[in-house]
A = this chain, B = another copy of it.
Amino acid sequence: MAVAWHTSLSFNPPLYGIAVASKRFTYQFIIDSKEFAVNFLPFKASELIASIGGTGGQEIDKFQRFNIAKSKPVKTAVPILEAAYAAYECKLIASKDYGDHRWLVEEIVAVHLREKTFTTEGFVDLDKVNPALYLGNEYYLTATKNTIRRLDREAHGKC
C-alpha cells in the first residue's frame, strides 16, 4: 500500500503515524497482525509507488506482479523492500477514527538503513540517494544537493 498521509510523532519513544481508509485491503492485515513496515523509496522507484498505489491487494499479489524483492525483518514479520533506502519495522500501539480515515500510531522497533546512503549524522546523503516525495494529485518530487537550501534556525532567529 502507498500512503500519502503520514508523519513522525515522537522522538522518544520513536513513534510514527499513518492515516489509512479502513476500506483498504492492507488495513485489515495491519489490524490483525498489529505490525507493519514503513518503506521509504528513492525517486527512481516512483513508478513502483504509483503501481502499488493504483492496484488493490484483494485482486493481485503485488509482490509477484511488480517483482518486488524483500529483505529480512529483524523484530517482526513485516516486508522490508530491497528498493527502500530506509525502512521502519513498526508495532501498532494505538488507533483512532478521525473522519473518513483511521489514524494508526506505531512504535518503531527496528530501523533499516541502506548502507552508505546516510551521513554519519544520520541524515540522507543526497549524493547517494534521492528520496521520492509525494506532493499529491499524482505528482512526485525529489531532493538533490542542487535543489535544497540549508537555513539554520538559530542563525535566522537572530536576524
Residues of A in contact with B (beta carbons under 8 Å apart)? 2, 4-15, 17, 19, 46-47, 49-51, 53-55, 94, 96, 98-101, 103, 105, 121, 123, 133, 135-143, 147-159
Query: Is B105 touching A94 in the complex (CB atoms < 8 A)?
Result: no
Asked whether, in the complex, the Cβ of B140 is within 8 Å of the Cβ of A141, the reply is: no
CA A101 – CA B47 in complex, angstroms? 34
Supposing A5-B9, A9-B103 touch, asked if A54 and B139 sit within 8 A by C-beta, the answer is no
Complex Cα distance, B153 from A152, in Å, reads: 37
Q: Apart from A13-B99, A54-B158, what are 14 other A-B pairs with CB-CB below 8 Å?
A: A2-B153, A5-B7, A7-B19, A9-B19, A9-B103, A10-B98, A17-B17, A47-B156, A50-B153, A51-B159, A53-B157, A54-B152, A133-B141, A147-B147
What separation, in Å, do the CA atoms of A148 and B121 have in the docked complex? 28
So how many copies of this chain end up in the complex? 2
Known A141-B143, A156-B54: A15·B99 in contact at CB below 8 Å: yes
Chain B min CB distance to A119 (Å): 9
